[in-house]
Amino acid sequence: MARRAAVLAVSVALLASSVLTACSTQAPASGTDGSGRGDSDGKITLGFAQVGAESGWRTANTKSVQESAEKAGITLKFSDAQQKQENQIKAIRTFIQQKVDVIAFSPVVESGWDTVLREAKDAGIPVVLTDRAVDTKDPSLYKSFLGSDFVKEGRSAGEWLTAEYAKENGPVNIVELQGTTGSAPANDRKAGFAEVIKGDDKFKIVASQSGDFTRAKGKEVMQAFLKSHKDIDVLYAHNDDMALGAIQAIEAAGKKPGEDIKVISIDGIKDAFVAMNQGKINVVVECNPLLGDQLMDLVKKVAAGENVPTRVEVEEGVFTQDQAAEALPSRKY
Ligand code: AHR
């Protein structure tokens, strides 16, 4: 059965790019121990509860997980929660009933997971968090987190802004398009950005609202910002899709995105690089969705009861307009 299968070599890349803060051990819980777990063909079964399909980033992340599972010979049970926590909780409970070997999920929001995570733990099913973290006082409820440092991403956005306006007196009026309310990337990107700009009171966030990480909402909220604030200097969008929606609203209002209103975005999807190349986005802070291979390595390890790092962070960069044309052909998502 899956959990007794020999552990395959874990990629050196995972270790190289990881930040090891602590280790946890998972006792093997094989299907042959009477649990009935695992595929009859001996493959590891992974239950994956995805957030939804809200953005280009998410589409690339889903593809990466699906392709990597196939490549790794892991049976994937995939569920799309359509950005609703209750759907994710339902999916996780179904995976527990199905006695999958490992559960992985990207939590829509940060809080409210302890009960279902305890159910998984009681059933002996290890959980790996990917992309987004949970807010819990009990770190034994999951084995590992694989994803980005969202606070650092917010700080990078703020650092670009403070450098850009270093020689100006201000005020610099900023509107902020937040991601999904209560989600880790929305909370952390807001916090990291605020931490950097708070040192200089010429930076003023004049409006801040959620655009739910979608293009349509980004456009709608930006239209409202433009109506209520005539003097917007900067848009800080927590992801590219909202920035791209907002650019449509800025153009419809007769202004030039990238010039009249500077645009700062996060993710680094191809469409954003195209917009940056056209001068419509000024800077993109990268957030890497291609986590599939690293996730499958972790899944194999926890299924085999091996030690895994409790936090694995991915390497990410910052791209400005002058780098966009050169970087565009090699963007993988
Ligand atoms: O959790 C990662 C975020 O979720 C991405 O920045 C965003 O595009 C997605 O919807």
Q: Mean pLDDT of all residues in the chain?
A: 90
Q: Out of 22-31, 84-93, 242-251, which region has the weakest mean confidence (pLDDT)?
A: 22-31
Pairing of strands 311-313, 144-147: parallel
Decide if 45-148+290-315 and 150-287 have a common fold.
yes
- The atom of ligand 1 lying closest to the CA of 213 is 10
Q: How many CB atoms lie within 10 A of CB 27?
A: 8
CA distance linking residue 76 with residue 248, whole number of Å: 38
Select from 119, 118, 109, 108 the least CA-distant residue to 140. 118
Q: What distance in angstroms lies between residue 212's CA and the mean position of ligand 1's atoms?
A: 10
Select from 267, 332, 286, 293 the least CA-distant residue to 58. 267
Select from 269, 231, 255 the least CA-distant residue to 55. 269
Q: What distance in angstroms lies between residue 82's CA and the mean position of ligand 1's atoms?
A: 13
User: Which one has a higher pLDDT value, 199 or 242?
Assistant: 242
Pocket perturbation via mutation, ligand 1, pick of 50, 54, 58, 65 by most ligand atoms within 8 A of CB: 58
Q: What is the DSSP letter of 17?
A: T
Q: What is the pLDDT of residues 151-196, one digit of tens each?
A: 999 999 999 999 999 999 989 999 999 999 999 999 999 999 999 9
The torsion angles phi and psi of 218, rounded to 5 degrees, stand at: -60, -45
Confidence (pLDDT) at 41: 72
Going by pLDDT thresholds of 50, 70 and 90, the confidence category of residue 36 is: very low
Confidence (pLDDT) at 235: 98
Token pair of 324 as six digits: 């966009």
Res. 26: pLDDT tops 90: no
| The pTM of the whole model exceeds 0.85 | yes
Q: Whose CA is nearest to atom 3 of ligand 1?
A: 185
- Class of domain 150-287 (CATH, top level): alpha beta
Res. 34: pLDDT tops 90: no
Which residues are registered as beta bridge partners of 235? Answer: 175, 263
CA distance linking residue 249 with residue 229, whole number of Å: 13
- The atom of ligand 1 lying closest to the CA of 238 is 6
- The atom of ligand 1 lying closest to the CA of 266 is 6
Token pair of 198 as six digits: 């708070």
Is the four-CA dihedral 189, 193, 195, 198 of positive or negative sign? negative
Instruction: Count the residues in the chain.
Output: 333
Q: What distance in angstroms lies between residue 105's CA and the mean position of ligand 1's atoms?
A: 14
Amino acid at 50: Q
Q: What distance in angstroms lies between residue 135's CA and the mean position of ligand 1's atoms?
A: 17
Q: What distance in angstroms lies between residue 217's CA and the mean position of ligand 1's atoms?
A: 14
CA distance linking residue 256 with residue 315, whole number of Å: 32
Confidence (pLDDT) at 42: 78
Confidence (pLDDT) at 17: 39
Confidence (pLDDT) at 326: 95
Specify whether domain 45-148+290-315 bears CATH 1.10.8.50: no
Confidence (pLDDT) at 39: 56
Q: What distance in angstroms lies between residue 184's CA and the mean position of ligand 1's atoms?
A: 10
Task: Decide: helix, strand or coil at residue 199.
Answer: coil
Q: Which residue has the tokens 């975005």?
A: 265
Q: What percent of the chain has pLDDT over 90?
A: 86
Which residues are registered as beta bridge partners of 102? Answer: 46
The residue-averaged pLDDT of 93-99 equals 98
Select from 287, 280, 205 the least CA-distant residue to 248. 280
Res. 242: pLDDT tops 50: yes
Domain boundaries, given as residue ranges, for the chain? 45-148+290-315, 150-287
Q: What is the pLDDT of residues 254-289, one digit of tens each?
A: 999 999 999 999 999 999 999 999 999 999 999 999
Q: Which residues 6+ apart lie within 8 Å of 16 measured at CB?
A: none
Q: How many CB atoms lie within 10 A of CB 36?
A: 10
Pairing of strands 234-237, 127-131: unpaired
Q: What is the pLDDT of residues 113-161, one digit of tens each?
A: 999 999 999 999 999 999 999 999 999 999 999 999 999 999 999 999 9
Pocket perturbation via mutation, ligand 1, pick of 267, 290, 295, 314 by most ligand atoms within 8 A of CB: 267
Amino acid at 194: A
Confidence (pLDDT) at 38: 52
Q: What distance in angstroms lies between residue 58's CA and the mean position of ligand 1's atoms?
A: 6
* Residue ranges lining ligand 1, Cβ < 6 Å: 54-55, 57-58, 131-132, 185, 213, 239, 241, 266-267, 287
Pocket perturbation via mutation, ligand 1, pick of 64, 110, 131, 151 by most ligand atoms within 8 A of CB: 131
CA distance linking residue 164 with residue 175, whole number of Å: 16
Q: What is the pLDDT of residues 280-331, one digit of tens each?
A: 999 999 999 999 999 999 999 999 999 999 999 998 999 999 999 999 999 9
CA distance linking residue 311 with residue 308, whole number of Å: 9
Q: What distance in angstroms lies between residue 93's CA and the mean position of ligand 1's atoms?
A: 24
Q: Which residue has the tokens 């992985």?
A: 104
CA distance linking residue 189 with residue 237, whole number of Å: 10
Select from 167, 156, 176 the least CA-distant residue to 262. 176
Going by pLDDT thresholds of 50, 70 and 90, the confidence category of residue 37 is: low
